Structure 1
Amino acid sequence: MRKIETKVGKKRILCIYPSYFCNRGVSHACLSVVSSMSSSNLNVEVMGISSDKEISSPFYTNTISPTINPIAYRLFSGEKLQRLCEYRFLKKLRDDDIAYLWPGTSINLIEKIKRQGNKIVVENINCHQFISRQILDSEYRKLDLKPSHTITDDSIQDEFRKLELSDYVFSPSPAVSESLLSSGIANEKILQTSYGLSENEIFECQFNYKKNRPLTAIFVGRIGVRKGIHLVLNYWDKANINGILKVIGQVEDYGQEIIEPFLNHPKIQFLKYTNDLKKLYRDADFFILPSLEEGSPLVTYLALGAGLPCLVSPMGSGGIIKDGHEGFIIDPHDESGWIAAIRQMEIKPELREYQSKAAWKSAATYLWKNVGQKRANELLYRLEISN
């Protein structure tokens, strides 16, 4: 018999992200969301497979201790470690818990939870794969490249099934919500939210108003078709401003082929990804991200915290940039629009200053503590539970 919660008035959300946890990327977002959702009346916990030793949180539980995970990962496949994580999660799940499931959770686990009668909430970190594949396949055809993404018919059907079994789905951006609706997901299931940033990721606002100096723009993300690297390099080259574009990230399939013609460009620098992005953001004048498909990119939140005007596609905006306010939102294929926006950063320092200050002022809205409480309140309201 499974345990039943005995403490009156204390509701619990039990979350699983069957992956390895570290202080970056999806696992960082997951733990940040979970820890900020907790309150005096709500206990939220997350379980993962294992983690870096630096991950120490009362809201997080490892399936495998960090001290032995090198051995475990050598002896067992990722699939077996995931099954172990899901088994322990199911044993821990109480009758009145809300099950909160992040990507990678198996259909088998979700079906078991459904049969037990727990409410199920899933996190859609990106657009529905049915829509994502259409966007990416179209772009690869334009580039005359064979698609290198991992979206398959089976993975799409899995996502449809997971969403069918869920009671609610957290959507981090309007673009994700639109993809869910376009895929036939009922509007009443969708909980519109965002991701966020930490207080130490909001810098002291310092605007460099000096004229006639080279500007620095940064592109941060995986270097491949999905993030629009082929577009940004072309637009930057044609804009030909007095400035440097710093491209920071790991090179994906076809990425090297795309960047090869620009490796010796005098106004473009390619830098390896680093876990310490603060100096790169602090030294930049504006941020640029013409993504074709996203959820709500954490790098855009960091740009707000650094007070950087954001030149972004609708996907790259993540739903947190207002056109003309914190930056410009431009269709990823609008070449003239991108070139004009880049040039405005150079010739209109007063506009750059306005957008810089607007970006910085909006950052506090997306502090994890604010995002988490909004998520908790919205979910409990939908479930008719007071917080």
Structure 2
Amino acid sequence: MTSPPVRVLYSFPHKLGGGRICTTAWHQVEGASRAGTKVTVIAGSQVKPLNSEVKVKKTLSVGRFRIPYRLIGRDMACNWHDAVTARWLDANHREIDVVHGWPLSSLKTIRVAKKHGIPVVLERPNAHTAFAYEEVAKENKNVGIDLPGNHDHLFNGKRLALEETEYAEADYLLCPSDFVARTFRDRGFANEKLVRHQYGFDHSRFSSPDARATEHDGLIMIYAGVIEPRKGLHHALKAWFASGAQEKGTFMVCGEFIPGYAELLQPMLSHPSVKVMGHRSDLPDLMRQSDLFVLSSVEEGSALVTYEARGSGCVLLVSDAAGAVCEHLQNGMIHPSRDVDALAEHIRLLDGDRELLAKLRAASLSDLDHLTWAEAGRKLADVYRELRRP
């Protein structure tokens, strides 16, 4: 006998279908719904439509008018969203089997769910926040830069206290990478509370040709994303020059720098082999032209751009803190966080051994079906089925 579909309340306080985590949330809802989950979304606002099976309610918009976060502040917006969601759940708890919440906006909802015996899974799009604060502060100090006052990784004791209370009171923490799960285990969280899932990429946007359009002597390496010390571009640049690949190769740097960081890196950024390209709308094309994607982060969740790079045919060169889905010397290369020498050796090895580069690329491309957003949605639906209340 087939079980009835799991009824999930998905609570997301931000702009569903926007960029970054808003993209993640949209794909999770769409994918889980198409995998058979009955999803009710309560979101701050919505900018991209979902399939007709998903019910959507909004807490920070009326019609086409959205209350800007900058008007009331993120903390107040998240608190309001949580309060509205909790009230809805209290009135409709018989219609819900699982609650899926996001950080800084779930404590009231968690407590209402517990009152009614509904399990709560809390999304962890990044490492444990205390760990993230510590590592980012350390890296910024090493580089010699101060974060802007509104930066997410600038220490905020009030937010950390709220997140740690949410961690404690949620039934499960959804971790998109082994790295994220480890940062929680290291702080005493039981394995039973840490549930692994994954993110994905949109194969309609990011796809790889069967072969490189043009042959080239030097390596083409690309970095893409927000450019700040925690992402380790300074480590990647040092490794690029230490490897010798700069003699014939090209290192494309795509994204916007936080204030002051580009100036510190200017001696390396000004080298002819380094192309500083700013924010790009043609990132899929640039990735298809590239041999390698580099991300030498000191802390992450599971960076979406690593999925997109694999989907575009890049071999990943990532730190063990990047949360990337790859296996060292099987379909990518992984170096210890902050280990410039190891990363330089990986670049040097692939620059000199194109057969190994081709082997890693073929292996990386061979299982991309397991890394799409559709597959992530199916896995998330499986999590919901396993955790639903009796």
- TM-score bucket (shorter structure): 0.7 to 0.9
Where do 1:8-47 residues align within 5 Å?
9-38=4-33, 42-47=37-42
Q: Which residue of 2 aligns with 1:165?
A: 169
Which residue type is aligned with residue 346 of structure 2? A
Q: Structure 1 residues 85, 303: closer, same or farther in 2, change over 3 A?
A: same
Q: Structure 1 residues 75, 268: closer, same or farther in 2, change over 3 A?
A: closer
Q: Which moved more, 1:88-97 or 1:245-254?
A: 88-97
Other structure's SS at 2:258 match: coil
Match of 1:206 among 210, 231, 246: 210
Q: Which runs of 5+ in 1 are unaligned?
A: 1-7
Q: Which residue of 2 aligns with 1:67?
A: 64
Partner Cα distance (2:365, 2:139) in 1 = 33
Q: Which residue of 2 aligns with 1:237?
A: 241
Displacement, 1:41? Answer: 5.5
Q: Is the contact made by 1:168 and 1:191 (CA closer than 8 Å) also made in structure 2?
A: yes
Partner Cα distance (2:300, 2:35) in 1 = 34
Partner Cα distance (1:30, 1:260) in 2 = 36
Q: Is the contact made by 1:224 and 1:254 (CA closer than 8 Å) also made in structure 2?
A: no
Q: Structure 1 residues 51, 38: closer, same or farther in 2, change over 3 A?
A: closer
Displacement, 1:270? Answer: 1.2
CA deviation map 1:102-141 (0-9, x unaligned): 1231534433443444321100011001222232233234
Displacement, 1:28? Answer: 0.8
Q: Structure 1 residues 167, 73: closer, same or farther in 2, change over 3 A?
A: closer
Q: Which residue of 2 aligns with 1:250?
A: 256
Displacement, 1:243? Answer: 0.9
CA deviation map 1:190-214 (0-9, x unaligned): 1111111123145243333976523
Partner Cα distance (1:173, 1:50) in 2 = 28
Partner Cα distance (2:237, 2:36) in 1 = 50
Displacement, 1:301? Answer: 0.3
Q: Which moved more, 1:201-210 or 1:338-347?
A: 201-210
Partner Cα distance (2:310, 2:286) in 1 = 14
TM-score, normalising length: structure 2: 0.87
Partner Cα distance (2:200, 2:35) in 1 = 22
**For this pair of structures, how many residues does the alignment match?**
375
Q: Which residue of 2 aligns with 1:4?
A: none
Partner Cα distance (2:46, 2:62) in 1 = 8
Q: Which residue of 2 aligns with 1:342?
A: 347
Q: Which residue of 1 aligns with 2:272?
A: 266
Q: Which residue of 2 aligns with 1:3?
A: none
Which residue type is aligned with residue 187 of structure 1? N
Where do 1:107-118 residues align within 5 Å?
107-118=107-118
Displacement, 1:55? Answer: 3.8
Q: Which residue of 1 aligns with 2:160?
A: 156
Partner Cα distance (2:127, 2:252) in 1 = 27
Q: Percent identity?
A: 25
Displacement, 1:313? Answer: 0.4
Q: Structure 1 residues 212, 307: closer, same or farther in 2, change over 3 A?
A: closer
Which residue type is aligned with residue 111 of structure 1? R
Q: Structure 1 residues 212, 297: closer, same or farther in 2, change over 3 A?
A: closer
Q: Is the contact made by 2:10 and 2:41 (CA closer than 8 Å) also made in structure 1?
A: yes
Q: Is the contact made by 2:35 and 2:378 (CA closer than 8 Å) also made in structure 1?
A: no
Partner Cα distance (2:195, 2:211) in 1 = 36
Q: Which moved more, 1:296-305 or 1:342-351?
A: 342-351
Q: Which residue of 1 aligns with 2:365?
A: 360
Q: Is the contact made by 1:230 and 1:258 (CA closer than 8 Å) also made in structure 2?
A: no
Where do 1:193-342 residues align within 5 Å?
193-208=197-212, 213-241=217-245, 242-316=248-322, 318-342=323-347
Q: Is the contact made by 1:249 and 1:271 (CA closer than 8 Å) also made in structure 2?
A: yes
Displacement, 1:143? Answer: 3.1
Q: Which moved more, 1:233-242 or 1:151-160?
A: 151-160
Partner Cα distance (1:205, 1:66) in 2 = 42
Which residue type is aligned with residue 166 of structure 1? A
Q: Which residue of 2 aligns with 1:191?
A: 195
Q: Which residue of 2 aligns with 1:135?
A: 135
Other structure's SS at 2:381 match: helix
Partner Cα distance (1:359, 1:61) in 2 = 39
Q: Structure 1 residues 10, 339: closer, same or farther in 2, change over 3 A?
A: closer
Q: Which residue of 2 aligns with 1:95?
A: 93
